[in-house]
Amino acid sequence: MSESDQIEFTDEEYKDFFETNRVEPLAPRSRRLPRWARLLGLFVAAAMVSGGAFSLFEGVLTNPEIRDAAAIEAAAWDRANESPFGFLVSDIRVVPIENGTVAAFVTNNPPDGIIQIDFRPWSADRLDELMDHEIGHLIDFALWEPRDPERTNGLGTEAWAECSAVDAGTRRIDGFDPGGEYHCFDAELELYEAALGEVSEICQRWGSGECRTKEELGIGPDGLGPEGIPSLDDQ
Ligand SMILES: [Zn+2]
């Protein structure tokens, strides 16, 4: 991390608490939040838990069974460890994200492999989806320079991440939001799979620079294949 006291957000989730309320991208593409604000947020979160404000979320989310920050982090790591691309994840941090519509984000300025997840009650399924989407961003960051015109094989950044989650087996092919960014149509999934099919290996552009070959990752001509990533629950 640089000595700057600001973090540039180059990506964010806008997903709202409601599963179907995914129409409008509510947050700007790039925002800045001072580091002190994030640290303050940690204290606010602690106060929320002790003060009981956490219960405001109850009844809004579907099956929000994971409530404790450590449990959220552990469940997120479970999904990262299930994913063949999980080696791209250098850290997972559960922090309060002030914009309530942002569920998680990763940064690409420079990429660091850190997934930051909003401290809110999560269902296990939603958290898996979220992780597969964010890992999709890390695959993007690993494969291309941010300004590479070939980046994401012509897909929008969010379409790439969504298709990665579809390929992983958690998100569905989604035509619900044709005017927005957060979708993966059939043609987009094909572009995603074609791009992965060209890859011989994927390397971190951060951390140790660890690489995995396509064979090690289990990438075939159809991406990860129809099964996606097997869940620990299925084994
Ligand atoms: Zn995203």
Per-residue pLDDT of 65-116, as tens digits, reads 999 999 999 999 999 999 999 999 999 999 999 887 889 999 998 999 999 9
Question: pLDDT tens for residues 11-53?
Answer: 433 333 333 333 333 333 333 444 445 444 444 443 333 333 3
Q: What is the pLDDT of residue 18?
A: 30
Element of type H or E holding 115: strand 114-118
Q: What is the pLDDT of residue 233?
A: 53
Higher pLDDT residue, 228 or 87?
Answer: 87
Q: What is the pLDDT of residue 220?
A: 86
Distance 226 CA to ligand 1 centre (A): 22
Distance 103 CA to ligand 1 centre (A): 9
Q: What is the pLDDT of residue 17?
A: 31
Distance 192 CA to ligand 1 centre (A): 15
Distance 68 CA to ligand 1 centre (A): 23
Q: What is the pLDDT of residue 230?
A: 72
Half-sphere exposure of 175 (CA within 13 A, CB side): 3
Contact 173, 151 (CB under 8 A): no
Cα–Cα nearest to 219, from 182, 183, 180, 192: 192
Q: What is the pLDDT of residue 119?
A: 95
3-state secondary structure of 121: coil
Distance 42 CA to ligand 1 centre (A): 23
Query: Is the torsion defined by CA of 118, 119, 125, 126 positive or negative?
Result: negative
Where residue 226 falls (left for φ over 0; alpha for ψ -120 to 50; beta otherwise) is: alpha
**Burial grade of 139 (CB within 10 A; 0-12, 13-18, 19 or more):** buried
Distance 51 CA to ligand 1 centre (A): 32
Check residue 233 and report its DSSP letter.
Answer: G
Distance 52 CA to ligand 1 centre (A): 30
Contact 166, 186 (CB under 8 A): no
pLDDT exceeding 90 applies to what percent of the chain? 55
Q: Distance between CA atoms of 39 and 37, rounded to whole angstroms?
A: 5
- pLDDT grade, residue 173 (50/70/90)? confident
Distance 203 CA to ligand 1 centre (A): 20
Cα dihedral 41, 42, 44, 50, rounded to 10, equals: 160
- pLDDT grade, residue 158 (50/70/90)? very high
